[in-house]
């Protein structure tokens, strides 16, 4: 069914702000900052919001929070954008290339902040259409679970948040499409560091040594049986090794090898589920090392839990998208084993996380996130603002139909 409509006041207003929206995104892109170092970024956000009449507070060192109070009773909806950049040297030549050497917005967080700031402007202009409060949250350090710090400092309280919405620009999806999926949409993440201890020696006398390199090689291969033989193929589990360090010279057997990697899983419960991927990995690592007469030290860091979209919030978001996109064919499903700490918020309150397609091969924006030439199709930015704005309006319009609010 085609639902194309003439632009209304909200669409027209957002289009009027398109150049401001792009300018904001490019400014953030030029001055990227790593997690908990987003000082200039936070000041830029604060200045923009304060010029609109918002009062802002800092949380989690560089996070920025503000509230739009309609003055009428109703629920509290939280809208979230992440702020941090990545330790990547940008190599694509654009006018707004990173001015901070070795740091780059290579995941789209610059776009998220710009969209949410302009949404804050438009929603304030439409304050009379609201019943309740909106909490705008600009969160630092998404790449290393900054959401947890904000939760610990009370971002979900005062006023208590009832639901949460977030958007991620996503280059694996073509521009002009949007993905809104109920249930698991992004993976949980455990990060591991393993030190395999052997006994150093001469490669010409291997019988006098205990070789940790062969143990490491065996572990890398053997651990793959967990995802192919021990856990259902319908339960996505991915074990990846990203770093191997060991040895100093071709004729020396080292006394240790260090491995680093990740365990990702796309199902509720993650490491605490009946699948127990991390516990299985520890078992395999210890047994493989023992087989090779080695011992191992294993350090596990639980970084993110799986991101699971709430059924009713997802339905509301899809209804919103139908009003914005010309055809329901542009509204698709998407799941990825990549992780996002928005999951920490959506575990606590009903939430929906939306993927806004930003890939356009014709202009070179189809490269993967975290690529040194990463870029987005900026023509999609107004759609992101509109999702935030209309999604918020729909939330308040349909609040009395949402079961999780009726239970309050």
- Report the pLDDT averaged over residues 319-326: 95
pLDDT, residue 387, reads 98
pLDDT, residue 274, reads 87
For residues 138 and 203, state if they share a domain. Answer: no
Query: Torsion angle, CA of 245/251/256/262, rounded to 10 degrees?
Result: 30
Rounded to whole angstroms, the Cα distance separating 330 from 342 reads 24
pLDDT, residue 272, reads 74
**Total domain count, the chain:** 2
Q: Which of 292, 294, 212, 227 shows the shortest CA–CA distance to 262?
A: 227
- Classify residue 73: in a domain, yes or no: yes
CATH of the domain at 244: 3.30.70.360
pLDDT digits (tens, 9 = 90+) for 135-155: 999 999 998 889 999 999 999
Cβ-based neighbours of 273, under 8 Å, separated by 6 or more = 265, 267
- Classify residue 98: in a domain, yes or no: yes
Strand, coil or helix: what is 338? coil
- Using 50, 70 and 90 to split pLDDT, how confident is the model at 285? very high
Q: Which helix (H) or strand (E) holds 169?
A: strand 163-174
Going 69 to 70 to 72 to 76, the CA torsion angle's sign is negative
For residues 212 and 175, state if they share a domain. Answer: no
For residues 287 and 362, state if they share a domain. Answer: no
**Whole-number average pLDDT of the chain:** 96
- Report the pLDDT averaged over residues 177-189: 96
| Model confidence at 230: pLDDT above 60 | yes
pLDDT, residue 355, reads 98
- Classify residue 120: in a domain, yes or no: yes
- Using 50, 70 and 90 to split pLDDT, how confident is the model at 180? very high
Cβ-based neighbours of 55, under 8 Å, separated by 6 or more = 66, 67
For residues 166 and 264, state if they share a domain. Answer: no
- Report the pLDDT averaged over residues 301-327: 95
For residues 350 and 398, state if they share a domain. Answer: yes
- Classify residue 348: in a domain, yes or no: yes
pLDDT, residue 408, reads 66
For residues 47 and 132, state if they share a domain. Answer: yes
How distant is the alpha carbon of residue 305 from its chain centre?
11
- Classify residue 173: in a domain, yes or no: yes
CA distances from 197 to 4, 200, 213, 217 (A): 64, 9, 10, 14
- Using 50, 70 and 90 to split pLDDT, how confident is the model at 2? very low
Size of the chain, expressed as the number of residues it contains: 408
- Classify residue 2: in a domain, yes or no: no
- Report the pLDDT averaged over residues 198-221: 98
- Report the pLDDT averaged over residues 160-180: 98
pLDDT, residue 7, reads 62
- Report the pLDDT averaged over residues 233-237: 91
CATH of the domain at 95: 3.40.630.10
pLDDT digits (tens, 9 = 90+) for 341-381: 999 999 999 999 999 999 999 999 999 999 999 999 999 99
| Model confidence at 267: pLDDT above 90 | no
For residues 147 and 260, state if they share a domain. Answer: no
pLDDT, residue 283, reads 97
- Classify residue 83: in a domain, yes or no: yes
Task: State the SS3 of 65-96.
Answer: EEEEECCCCCCEEEEEEECCCECCCCCCCCCC
For residues 177 and 72, state if they share a domain. Answer: yes
| Model confidence at 190: pLDDT above 60 | yes
Q: Which of 127, 184, 210 shows the shortest CA–CA distance to 305?
A: 184
For residues 245 and 261, state if they share a domain. Answer: yes
- Report the pLDDT averaged over residues 168-190: 97
- Using 50, 70 and 90 to split pLDDT, how confident is the model at 268? confident
For residues 99 and 197, state if they share a domain. Answer: no
- Report the pLDDT averaged over residues 56-72: 98
- Using 50, 70 and 90 to split pLDDT, how confident is the model at 275? very high
Where residue 127 falls (left for φ over 0; alpha for ψ -120 to 50; beta otherwise) is alpha
For residues 326 and 396, state if they share a domain. Answer: yes
Q: Give the domain-ending residue among 270, 304, 338.
A: 304
Strand, coil or helix: what is 233? coil
pLDDT, residue 1, reads 42
Q: Which helix (H) or strand (E) holds 110?
A: helix 109-125
| Model confidence at 209: pLDDT above 70 | yes
Q: Give the domain-ending residue among 256, 282, 304.
A: 304
b (16+ CB within 10 A) / e for 305-316: bbbbbbebbbbb
Q: Which domain holds residue 272?
A: 188-304
Beta strand 188-197 with 295-304 is antiparallel
pLDDT, residue 6, reads 53
| Model confidence at 5: pLDDT above 70 | no
- Report the pLDDT averaged over residues 70-85: 98
Q: Give the domain-ending residue among 284, 304, 324.
A: 304
For residues 169 and 222, state if they share a domain. Answer: no
Rounded to whole angstroms, the Cα distance separating 305 from 353 reads 14
- Classify residue 4: in a domain, yes or no: no
Q: What is the DSSP letter of 306?
A: P
Rounded to whole angstroms, the Cα distance separating 405 from 313 reads 11
pLDDT digits (tens, 9 = 90+) for 22-57: 999 999 999 999 999 999 999 999 999 999 999 999
């Amino acid at each position: 069914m085609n639902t194309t409509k003439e632009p209304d006041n909200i669409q027209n207003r957002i289009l009027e702000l398109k150049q401001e929206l792009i300018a904001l995104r490019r400014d953030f892109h030029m001055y990227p900052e790593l997690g908990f170092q987003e000082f200039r970024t936070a000041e830029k956000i604060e200045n923009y919001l304060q010029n609109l009449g918002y009062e802002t507070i800092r949380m989690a060192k560089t996070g920025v929070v503000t509230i739009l109070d309609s003055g009428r009773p109703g629920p509290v909806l939280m809208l979230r954008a992440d702020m941090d950049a990545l330790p990547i040297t940008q190599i694509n030549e654009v006018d707004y290339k990173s001015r901070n050497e070795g740091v780059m917005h290579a995941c789209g967080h610059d776009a998220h902040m710009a969209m949410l700031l302009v949404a804050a402007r438009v929603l304030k202009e439409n304050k009379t259409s609201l019943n309740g409060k909106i909490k705008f949250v600009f969160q630092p350090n998404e790449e290393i679970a900054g959401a947890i710090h904000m939760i610990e400092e009370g971002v979900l309280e005062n006023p208590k948040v009832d639901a949460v919405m977030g958007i991620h620009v996503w280059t694996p999806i073509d521009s002009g499409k949007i993905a809104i999926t109920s249930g698991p949409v992004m993976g949980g993440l455990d990060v591991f560091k393993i030190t395999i201890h052997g006994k150093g020696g001469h490669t010409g006398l291997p019988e006098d040594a205990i070789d940790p390199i062969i143990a490491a090689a065996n572990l890398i291969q053997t651990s793959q049986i967990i995802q192919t033989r021990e856990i259902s193929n319908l339960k996505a589990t991915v074990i990846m090794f990203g770093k191997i360090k060991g040895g100093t010279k071709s004729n020396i057997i080292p006394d240790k090898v260090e491995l680093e990697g990740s365990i990702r899983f796309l199902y509720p419960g993650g490491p605490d589920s009946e699948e127990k991927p991390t516990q299985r990995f520890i078992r395999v690592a210890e047994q493989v090392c023992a087989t090779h007469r080695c011992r191992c030290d294993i350090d596990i860091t639980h970084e993110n839990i799986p991101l699971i979209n709430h059924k009713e919030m997802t339905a509301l978001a899809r209804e919103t998208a139908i009003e914005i996109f010309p055809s329901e064919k542009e509204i698709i499903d998407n799941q990825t084993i990549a992780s996002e700490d928005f999951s920490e918020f959506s575990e606590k309150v009903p939430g929906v996380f939306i993927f806004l397609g930003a890939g356009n091969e014709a202009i070179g924006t189809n490269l993967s996130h975290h690529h040194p030439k990463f870029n987005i199709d900026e023509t999609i930015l107004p759609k992101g603002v509109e999702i935030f704005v209309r999604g918020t309006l729909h939330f308040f319009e349909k609040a009395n139909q949402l079961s999780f609010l009726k239970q309050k």
